[in-house]
Amino acid sequence: MKATLFAGLLGAVVLTPALALAIDYPPPAPLTPSAQASFANVAKPKDAKIRVAYMPPTTVSNYYVAIGEGIKAIAEKSGIETFMLAPESDADVDRQIGMLQDTIGQNVSAIIFGTHDEGAAAPLIKRAVAKGIIMINVNSDIPDFPTPIHADVGYAQRKGTHKMGEYALKLAQGKPLNVGIIEGLPGYHSTERVGGFLDAIKGSNLKVVSSVSGKWNVEDGNAAAMDMLQAHPEINMIFAANDYMIMGAERAAKSLGRHDLILLGNDGDTAALEEIAGGGVTATVNTAPYIMGEIAMQALLDSFDGKFKGGFVETPTEIVDKASVLPILQNSATLYPKPSKAY
């Protein structure tokens, strides 16, 4: 799909050059045959009353809310009803499964979902597809979901954090550095994000001395970093698999008086971008969650018209540091929440 397809979505949004180029992405890549659901039993409602559920892993993450705001922006322009439903905690998989079960029983045309436990969600997703509900996995690039789905919409996670590993090598300038890794909850997302970073630094002078889980949130990221830094004071750099955990690590670093640390995140959360502007966090992989939501909703609309036939739609990423963050914060049409102040 070309950038012109989404020109109407993005309007006058000003993107940094790298992100603007990334919008012009290639046509959707195929999922593995066993993971591609058929659109044969999907039909646009005759009364044109399309109702879409957005079901991320949690409601308390600004990142997932930003995706939802992108979904809502396109839905409102098209006169489509949407609603967001998710548990408070990323770790409450049972609650999410229960919500998914209830939603499938309602009159919904499609579910844009995200999950940290594909295996647990698979039986219900299979049931939804059989009912003719379009199932789009957002913030994901899983080519072989354990049951057929209609599409993945998200950034190539391993490729995104590979960029961060390359960035880390540039910062190191050939010098040996000791690295701490803060993983998310066990699952595909954490494995891919950490794996991309590790692939990039393999064989270099960057040595991983500790790798622990921060459970995707600020508080556990803080605790993980505190324990890590106390056990391994030789650490010079921390990479976290999302921005919440790296912001938690920043708090730990401040508490310990460690102002020398290189802190690297992943997401493009507004709060993390502001921390980068203020010098607290070094850099993040900006994955443009609002734009991701817009693209997911547009792909869904196109599927009803037969223009989109499924697959993996790759959304843009870029490395953002203090040298490049201000244009994003100053042109914040695609940020949610909005920055806390004018830049």
CB 112 within 8 A of CB 136: yes
Q: Are residues 22 and 166 in the same domain?
A: no
- Give the whole-angstrom CA distance, residue 245 versus residue 256: 17
Buried (b) or exposed (e) across 137-161, using 16+ Cβ within 10 A?
bbbbbbeebbbbbbbbbbbbbbebb
In a domain, 324, yes or no: no
Structure tokens at 33: 């045959």
CA–chain centroid gap for 269, Å, is: 10
Structure tokens at 170: 């540039």
**Domain's final residue, options 286, 308, 333:** 286
The whole-number pLDDT of residue 91 equals 86
The whole-number pLDDT of residue 307 equals 86
Q: Are residues 150 and 17 in the same domain?
A: yes
The whole-number pLDDT of residue 2 equals 33
> Half-sphere exposure (CA, 13 Å, Cβ side) for 104?
21
In a domain, 335, yes or no: no
343 residues of the chain, pLDDT tens digit each: 333 223 333 333 333 434 433 333 358 999 999 999 999 999 777 666 889 999 999 998 999 999 999 999 999 988 899 999 999 998 899 999 999 999 999 989 999 999 989 999 999 999 999 999 999 999 999 999 999 999 999 999 999 999 999 999 999 999 999 999 999 999 999 999 999 999 999 999 999 999 999 999 999 999 999 999 999 999 999 999 999 999 999 999 999 999 999 999 999 999 999 999 999 999 999 999 999 999 999 999 889 888 899 999 999 899 999 999 999 999 899 899 999 999 9
- Give the whole-angstrom CA distance, residue 278 versus residue 270: 12
0.75 surpassed by pTM: yes
Q: Are residues 177 and 86 in the same domain?
A: no
The whole-number pLDDT of residue 279 equals 97
Q: Are residues 308 and 162 in the same domain?
A: no
Secondary structure (3-state) at 250: helix
CB 293 within 8 A of CB 270: no
Q: Are residues 277 and 298 in the same domain?
A: no
CB 40 within 8 A of CB 325: no
The whole-number pLDDT of residue 26 equals 52
CA–chain centroid gap for 243, Å, is: 10
Number of structural domains (the chain) is: 2
The whole-number pLDDT of residue 258 equals 97
Q: Are residues 257 and 125 in the same domain?
A: no
In a domain, 22, yes or no: yes
In a domain, 241, yes or no: yes
Residue numbers of the domain that contains 70: 3-155+289-316
Q: Are residues 26 and 59 in the same domain?
A: yes
In a domain, 240, yes or no: yes
Structure tokens at 61: 């993450």
The whole-number pLDDT of residue 78 equals 87
Residue 111 CB coordination number (10 Å): 25
In a domain, 336, yes or no: no
Beta-carbon contacts of residue 165 (< 8 Å; ≥ 6 apart): 196, 197, 198, 199, 200, 201, 239
Q: Are residues 230 and 264 in the same domain?
A: yes
Alpha helix segments (H runs only) across the chain: 7-10, 17-22, 62-78, 93-104, 118-130, 157-172, 188-201, 218-231, 243-255, 270-278, 289-304, 326-330
CB 265 within 8 A of CB 285: yes
Q: Are residues 183 and 266 in the same domain?
A: yes
Q: Are residues 151 and 10 in the same domain?
A: yes
Q: Are residues 117 and 73 in the same domain?
A: yes
CATH of the domain at 165: 3.40.50.2300
Q: Are residues 149 and 108 in the same domain?
A: yes
In a domain, 34, yes or no: yes
**Domain's final residue, options 286, 306, 325:** 286
Give me Rg for the CA atoms of the chain. 20
The whole-number pLDDT of residue 15 equals 39
337 preceded by a cis bond (ω within 30 of 0): yes
In a domain, 323, yes or no: no
